[in-house]
């Protein structure tokens, strides 16, 4: 019922023109109903999402610049530790993206977890992965381990480090930050109601 009220609120807030960007929950519900109720589509989506796990930004840890290394440690390490302990898997981390590859056992365990998700929760995970560009950040979000703000901060570690080093692009970062939080928030709400 809560999700229905939130979706209704999205539609009530529409003015003269429909804005797809202002209907994130409607989009997730539609994806769940129209796209993920088919078993072969679900399987394809899960396979696609698990590709992000193999090169997940949460598993990449740079030594420099120092600000980046510190942000990665602050935001990535707790998510990796949570996934290790929650799912009993080995998550490999590295400083070299080109050698990062997770074990088949870890991927299979996460596949089994995600296969148990409802269509709506899978839609929420899919949207969060595409937004955060990270399977582990998205999983932690839809499993209610981290907040929307924590997920957004983790997803934006590199941009935050760049901003701290070189300054903010006027009007660019603010829009990216708001859009990311809107989409991750919709994903969290949908998963909560799945």
Say if CB 188 and CB 140 are below 8 A apart: no
> Is the pLDDT reported for residue 171 higher than 80?
no
Q: How far apart are CA 158 and CA 107, in angstroms?
A: 25
Q: How far apart are CA 148 and CA 100, in angstroms?
A: 27
> Is the pLDDT reported for residue 175 higher than 60?
no
94, β-bridge pairs? 60
Q: How far apart are CA 73 and CA 157, in angstroms?
A: 10
Q: In this predicted model, what pLDDT tens digit does every residue of 92-126 receive, in sequence order?
A: 988 877 777 899 999 999 999 999 999 999 999 99
Q: How far apart are CA 69 and CA 114, in angstroms?
A: 30
Q: In this predicted model, what pLDDT tens digit does every residue of 72-99 receive, in sequence order?
A: 999 999 999 999 999 999 999 888 777 7
């Amino acid at each position: 019922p809560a999700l229905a009220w939130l979706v209704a609120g999205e539609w009530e807030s529409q003015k003269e023109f429909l804005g797809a960007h202002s209907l994130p929950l409607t989009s997730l519900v539609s994806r769940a109903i129209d796209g993920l109720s088919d078993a072969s589509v679900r399987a394809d989506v899960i396979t696609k999402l698990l590709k992000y796990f193999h090169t997940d930004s949460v598993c990449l840890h740079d030594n420099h610049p120092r600000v980046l290394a510190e942000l990665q440690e602050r935001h990535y390490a707790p998510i990796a530790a949570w996934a290790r302990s929650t799912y009993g898997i080995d998550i490999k981390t590295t400083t070299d993206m080109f050698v990062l590859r997770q074990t088949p056992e870890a991927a299979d365990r996460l596949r089994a977890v995600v296969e148990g998700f409802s269509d709506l929760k899978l839609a929420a995970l899919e949207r969060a992965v595409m937004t955060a560009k990270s399977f582990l950040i998205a999983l932690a979000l839809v499993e209610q381990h981290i907040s929307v703000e924590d997920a957004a901060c983790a997803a934006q570690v590199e941009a935050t480090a760049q901003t701290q080093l070189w300054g903010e692009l006027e009007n660019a970062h603010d829009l990216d930050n708001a859009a990311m939080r809107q989409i991750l928030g919709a994903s969290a709400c949908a998963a909560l109601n799945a």
